[in-house]
Amino acid sequence: MNRLTALGGFILLAVLSGTVEAKEIVLNYANFPPAQTFPCVQMERWKAEVEERTNGKVQINTFPGGTLLGAKAMFRGVAQGQADIGCSSMAYLPGVFPLTSAVGLPVGFTSAETASLVLWDVYTKYAPEEFSEVKVLTMFTSAPSNLMSKKRVAALEDFQGLEIRASGSLSRSLELLGATPVSMPMSETPEALQKGVVQGLLSSLEVLKDFNYAAYCPYQTILNLQVYPFAVVMNKDVWNSLPADVQEVMNDLGPEQAEWTGEYMDRHVQEALAYAQQEHSTQVDRLPDTDMREMQAKVAPIIEEWKQEAADAGLPAEEIYQDMLALKERYAQDEQ
Ligand code: DTR
């Protein structure tokens, strides 16, 4: 008997005797940015936890970098079954998430951990219609957004006419501050920065390291503007086809994953800032207090605009808003 036949016989025997367990459930998980970025780091952590907690009954195949679905096609693509699971940045689809976009308002979140927990609670409390077509597995946010730019911005007036990449309500913030927003997903931003289409971006600072934006943006300005909310969703038919024990594992992971991702994000922002300073000698500016106050006043209309939009969508806007603020205070205190 040659070695191959012997090996085949062993596998056959093992399968017959049940020692090699076939994966019963294989799920494809799509993500839009590259593997080293935080939405993909959390995806790998979720995969590992699910595979372990289901004792190998479930196998998750991950597709970072838009290889299965791109940033803007993510949410629809999962609802329609092109991927079983997908990670969506809600800001890329303005108007589609009138309720949960409340967490993307300029209300002064100081950490991704708090904002992620608030987002999860707001979502579970209101179970909004905007997610009725999918099963939500978890939610989280980026850390508060700050400016990374080619030119130094040390005062509010320096924003005038600057072309800066952002998305959703952060593009609106830029507009109100006198800059020229250029809206695009994060996955298109490296090229826009390299080609000089934009002179900077507004997002959480971990991208200084994960996309090496520190090499293009020697200046950072601390603004603590809005966080970007994310949702990880599963195709509903796929969810309904899963056995109850697997569903339980995934349900338990929902809030846990939100907290894990928030914590990871906050820590990673600090690492990225240190990296940027050490490797690229970047410079961090803070606006003078008077400019910070003026900035808050300038972006405040975004809150009223959201309330109007939410009310138009038939939502109890004020109640949601007040709930969100109360949760923000509670979780921020827990963190201290
Ligand atoms: N949606 C976001 C938030 C974000 C922050 N860091 C990353 C890294 C990779 C993708 C998205 C993000 C934005 O577009 O800025």
Which of 31, 69, 87, 89 for mutating ligand 1's site (highest number of atoms within 8 Å of CB)?
89
Domain match, 152 and 233 both: no
Residue 261 Cα to ligand 1 middle (Å):
13
Give the burial class of 236: count Cβ atoms within 10 A of its Cβ; 0-12 exposed, 13-18 middle, 19 or more buried.
Answer: middle
Do 150 and 133 fall into the same domain?
A: no
- One domain for residues 41 and 81: yes
Query: Does 18 map to a domain?
Result: no
Residue-level pLDDT at 22: 55
Q: Which residues contact 215 (CB under 8 A, 6 or more apart)?
A: 280
211 lines ligand 1 (CB under 6 A): no
My answer on whether 149 and 41 are in the same domain is no
Contact 193, 165 (CB under 8 A): yes
0.85 exceeded by pTM: yes
Atom of ligand 1 nearest to the CA of 185: 14
Ligand 1 atom at minimal distance to the Cα of residue 143: 5
Residue 189 CA to ligand 1 center (angstroms) comes to 10
pLDDT score of 335: 79
Q: Which helix (H) or strand (E) holds 192?
A: helix 189-195
Integer Cα distance of 218 and 107 in angstroms:
27
Residue 1 confidence (pLDDT): 40
Checking DSSP bridges between strand 219-225 and strand 145-149, what pairing results, if any? Answer: antiparallel
Does 114 sit in the ligand 1 pocket, CB within 6 Å?
A: no
Q: Can you point out the beta strands (E) in the chain?
A: 25-30, 58-63, 85-89, 134-141, 145-149, 163-166, 180-183, 200-203, 219-225, 229-235, 283-286
Q: Is 140 in the pocket of ligand 1 (CB under 6 A)?
A: no
Q: Is 39 in the pocket of ligand 1 (CB under 6 A)?
A: yes
- Say how many Å lie between the CA of residue 145 and the centre of ligand 1: 10
Inside any domain, residue 3 = no
Q: Is 17 a domain residue?
A: no
- The response to whether residue 38 sits with its C-beta less than 6 Å from ligand 1 reads yes
For residue 42 and ligand 1, the question of a CB distance below 6 A is answered with: no
pLDDT of residue 4: 43
Q: Tell whether 59 and 124 lie within a shared domain.
A: yes
Cβ partners under 8 Å of residue 172, min gap 6: 181, 299, 302, 305
CA distance 146 to 91: 16
Number of domains observed in the structure of the chain: 2
Same domain, 55 and 174: no
How deeply is 127 buried, as exposed, middle or buried, from its count of CB atoms within 10 A (0-12, 13-18, 19+)? exposed
Element (H, E) at 76: helix 74-79
111/126 same-domain check: yes
Instruction: Print the domain residue range for 197.
Output: 145-226+280-335
The per-residue pLDDT string of the chain (336 residues; one tens digit each, 9 = 90 and over) reads 444 444 444 444 444 444 445 569 999 999 999 999 999 999 999 999 999 999 999 999 999 999 999 999 999 999 999 999 999 999 999 999 999 999 999 999 999 999 999 999 999 999 999 999 999 999 999 999 999 999 999 999 999 999 999 999 999 999 999 999 999 999 999 999 999 999 999 999 999 999 999 999 999 999 999 999 999 999 999 999 999 999 999 999 999 999 999 999 999 999 999 999 999 999 999 999 999 999 999 999 999 999 999 999 999 999 999 999 999 999 988 877
Does 116 fall in a domain? yes
Check whether residue 234 and residue 200 sit in a common domain: no
CATH classification at residue 110: 3.40.190.170
Ligand 1 binding pocket includes 33 (Cβ within 6 Å): yes
- Considering only the C-alpha atoms of the chain, give the largest distance between any 2 of them, rounded to a whole number of Å: 84
Q: Are residues 87 and 184 in the same domain?
A: no
Select from 142, 146, 172, 217 the residue to mutate for testing ligand 1; criterion: most ligand atoms less than 8 Å from CB.
Answer: 142
Instruction: HSE, CB side, 13 Å, CA atoms: give it for residue 55.
Output: 3
21 domain residue, yes or no: no
Question: 177-206 burial, b for 16+ CB within 10 Å, e for fewer?
Answer: bebebbbbbbbbbbebbeeeebbbbbbbbb
Q: What's the CA-to-centroid distance between 142 and ligand 1, angstroms? A: 7
pLDDT score, position 23: 67
Q: Around Cβ 14, how many Cβ atoms within 10 Å?
A: 12
pLDDT tens column, 130-155? 999 999 999 999 999 999 999 999 99
CB atoms within 10 A of CB 281: 9
156 lies in the same domain as 121? no
**Quick one: which of 184, 20, 7, 19 has its CA closest to 94?**
184
Q: Looking at ligand 1, which residue's alpha carbon is closest to its atom 13?
A: 186
- Does the beta carbon of 169 lie inside 6 Å of ligand 1? no
Which residue spans within 72-128 are E strands per DSSP?
A: 85-89
Task: Give the end of a domain, one of 241, 269, 297.
Answer: 269
Q: Does residue 14 lie in a domain region?
A: no
Same-domain status, 159 and 173: yes
User: CA–CA separation, 269 vs 18, rounded Å?
Assistant: 47
pLDDT in tens, 213-226: 999 999 999 999 99
In whole angstroms, give the CA distance from residue 145 to residue 226.
6
Which of 88, 148, 207, 210, when mutated, tests ligand 1's pocket best, judged by the most ligand atoms within 8 Å of its CB? Answer: 207
Q: At what angle do helices 112-126 and 317-335 cross, to 10 degrees?
A: 140
- The per-residue pLDDT for 6 is 44
